[in-house]
Structure formats: C-alpha cells, structure tokens
Homo-oligomer: A and B are copies of this chain.
Amino acid sequence: MKKNVLYAQSGGVTTVINCSMYGVIKAAMRSEKIDRVFGAKNGVSGLLQEELVDLSKESQETIEMLKYTPSAALGSCRRKLKSEDDFNRLFDVFKAHNIGYFLYNGGNDSMDTAMKIHKKAQEIGYDLKVIGIPKTVDNDLMFTDHCPGYPSSAKYTALSIFEATLDVKAMSHDSTKVFVMESMGRHAGWIAASSALLKNSDDEGPHIILFPERIFNKDRFLSKVEDVVRRFGYCSIVVSEGIKDENGNFVSDTGMVDNFGNKQLGGVGFQISNIIKNDLNLKVHTALPDYLQRSSRHISSLVDVQEAIAVGMKAVEFALNGESGYMVTIERLSNEPYIWTVGKVELDKVANKTRELPDDFIDEEGFMVTDKFREYALPLIQGEDNIDRWKVPNHYSRLHWNMVEKKLPKF
C-alpha cells in the first residue's frame, strides 16, 4: 500500500533549507511507493495541531522557486516534544494521514526530536521510517563533513568582512580605526572562522577573530588590537556571539533562555567595541548582521545549493529503502578537486551533540584560523546559483497552503 511522506522544518533557518525541501518533493513525487507529500506547518508545532500542507498540489513554479527562496517556506519552530501526550498525539496524526515516512530538517535539537520519534515508532510497532536532514549555519553537527546552510553563511561572512575592512581602512586616517562584526555561532566558531576565507596577507581583514573555543582574555585581546592598529593603522575584528570569559560566562549574557534551554545571546559585538573605546580610546564601528547572515540567498554558494538538494533527495531514498533512525551526512571524498557524496549516521550519535572547531583549525595565538581550516572551507563556498529578483516574476516561492483536511479532534 502506498504511504504518504511528511516533511518538516525546524530551528533557525538557512539560505538553502528550502533547497532540501525541493529535493524531498522532487524525489518523493517520482516514487511509486509514495502517494502524497505532506509538509507540516511550523515543524512539530503544526504537526501536533494536524496542520498539514499537501505539497503534491503545489504548482511546478512554486516548487522550482524553492531553490531561490531563503528561510523555511513551511515555517519553522523551536517547540520541543515534552510529554508522552505529545508523542501519542504525533502518532495519532501519522496514523490518521497514513504517514509512512517522516523527514525532519533541522539541527542537533531537531535530530534529538527525530530520534525520539524513531524510537517511539519502534516501541509501539508503527511502521515509520524516520530520517533527519541536516541543516544549520552553525555547522556544529557531528559525523557530517559540514552542514547545508553553513557554506552560504560562510561566504556571506567572508565577503562582508572583506568589504567592510576596505571601508575602515579608508576611514582610518582621521576617523574610524576599528571595525567589529558580530557573527552567529552559539557554541562553535565555524562562522567566525569563515570570515578569514578571503584573507591572503597580514594586512587584510579580519585581523582578529574571537572564537568561542578560546577563552576571552581582555588584556591579551586589547594588546593584540593595539598591535594591529600600530602596524596597519586600523583593525578589523570578527567576534562570535558565543565567546566566554575565564569563568565560563558568556561575554554577552542577556539571561534569557529559549525552549531548549539555550541562552539567548546578542550584543557581544557592542561589548567588545565598548571595551576598545574605553580602554584604547579609538573610534569603533560595529556591525551586527543578525538574520542577514543566515538568509542572504543572494550570495549562497553553488556547492551549498547542490548539497542541500542532494541531502533532501537522499533522505527520501533512504526512507524508501526501509532505513530509519538516520541523519543524512555529507562525505568529502577529495579536496582538490572537491568531490563529495552523501552518507548517513545514526541519529543518536548526532542528537544534542555539538562539534566545535578542531584545535588545528585555530592558530597558536588563538586569534586566527590555520591553513588547514582554509583547505577545509574554501571548496564549500565556490560558485553561485542566483537569480535577479528584479528580472524574474514571482521570484520566490509562495506556497498556496493547500491544507490537508483535519481528521482528529483539537489537541
């Protein structure tokens, strides 16, 4: 008997999560084993409310434009499945809509959710194939060479700091001497590290990267800033939102936590700028790209787009082959030329785990990446696959929200 696929998106967005959605729809719709492709509105949140969209009814154009649409077209969520009630309800929905395949596109929190659903299915003997599709600009999932979304954020970050460094350089004669850009990366410095990907000489920016993997020491930092300004006349700095001091406290800690217990960070760039202003009396400019950094589809890398589509397609293939409880991974076969393929790993190996920057990706002084990091990251940001939004009518994907009729009582 044919079954339906259920696909959902979760957590912070990327520029290419909708490319994975495209991959899922494409692969699912050409399979004989699959009846319809459903999407859950707002991840498990909508799933619990039985808010399913029939993606099989979408127009070809809407599906094609998913490739050029940043963020999460289905809506995302930060909801955690909390109780037995949640899980029971989820399976009521699966049963009511003949769901045989559940594909969850997210980061390490979402892989935990996917793992629990997989285990519950086994426990209650419901035939469900659960596959996780990786996605996070933070690049902190284990057992995959990298995560879709990261290459594009890396490219954005490298280009932005390159361009802004030329700006502060020009202004440094009698105005701004220091430029500070805050980057995302709660627990790992992958995005911050990527800022060095256009740097080919000492004078080029960034001059200093503050990694969450290294303890922030104010005196060492200020003396480094002084040294850079003395040598070049200006200084360009990238600071990861997640840096901590000697006591393990976030340098910027607003005290708020999200539903997963993660601390809500923000503003560390301004704290760093204030330290420089107060202690060194230099004029500082501060940039906080925030969401721009993870939704800048206009500068996404071609590699990222291709890989994001591939992990979506392969998730369907794995599920159809009867596999369950895995996350799709990207495996690097060769660096030059860059050759990759798609593999898989057990969900419980990646759930709730964080992959930090390896020690040999950060240099001894602790303020810059090594060539080893460059070799790792440079192949990922190559190429572009963009559209001119002013030339293409209907230049992004607007779902028609063909909602599937509800069959269950309210939850």
Residues of A with Cβ closer than 8 Å to B? 9, 12-13, 15, 41-42, 45-46, 69-79, 159-160, 162-164, 166-175, 179, 181, 198, 258-259, 266, 285-292, 294-299, 378, 381-384, 388-390, 395-396
- The reply to whether A287 and B286 form a contact with Cβ atoms under 8 Å apart is no
Contacts known (A288-B288, A390-B382); A42 close to B173, Cβ less than 8 A: yes
- A301's nearest neighbour on chain B, judged by CB, is B390
In whole angstroms, what is the CA distance A297 to B296 when docked? Answer: 14
Shortest Cβ distance from residue A21 to the other chain B in the assembled complex, whole angstroms: 12
- Assuming the contacts A288-B288, A384-B388, asked whether A296 and B160 have C-beta atoms less than 8 A apart, the reply is yes
CA distance A390 to B381 in the complex (A): 9
A258-B175, A287-B288 known; A76 and B159 CB under 8 Å? no
Main secondary structure, interface of A, reads: loop
Q: Could you tell me if B286 and A170 are in contact, using CB atoms closer than 8 angstroms?
A: no
> A174 and B78 in contact (CB under 8 A), knowing A163-B70, A163-B297, A297-B163?
yes
**Which chain B residue shows the least CB distance to A175?**
B78
The copy count of this chain in the complex is 2
CA of A20 to CA of B357 in the docked complex: distance in angstroms? 42
Partner of A292, one of B174, B258, B287: B287
Q: Select one of B41, B159, B291 contacting A179, CB under 8 A.
A: B291
C-alpha spacing A177/B384, complex, angstroms: 31
Chain B positions within 8 Å of A390 at CB level: 198, 378, 381-382
A389-B198 in contact given A70-B163, A163-B71, A170-B13 (Cβ < 8 Å): yes
Point out which of A79, A292, A299 has the most chain B C-beta atoms below 10 A from its C-beta.
A292
In the complex, residue of chain B having the shortest beta-carbon distance to the beta carbon of A168: B291
Q: Can you give 14 contacting A-B residue pairs, CB < 8 Å?
A: A75-B169, A78-B175, A159-B389, A162-B389, A163-B292, A164-B292, A167-B294, A179-B291, A181-B292, A266-B286, A289-B292, A299-B299, A381-B390, A384-B388
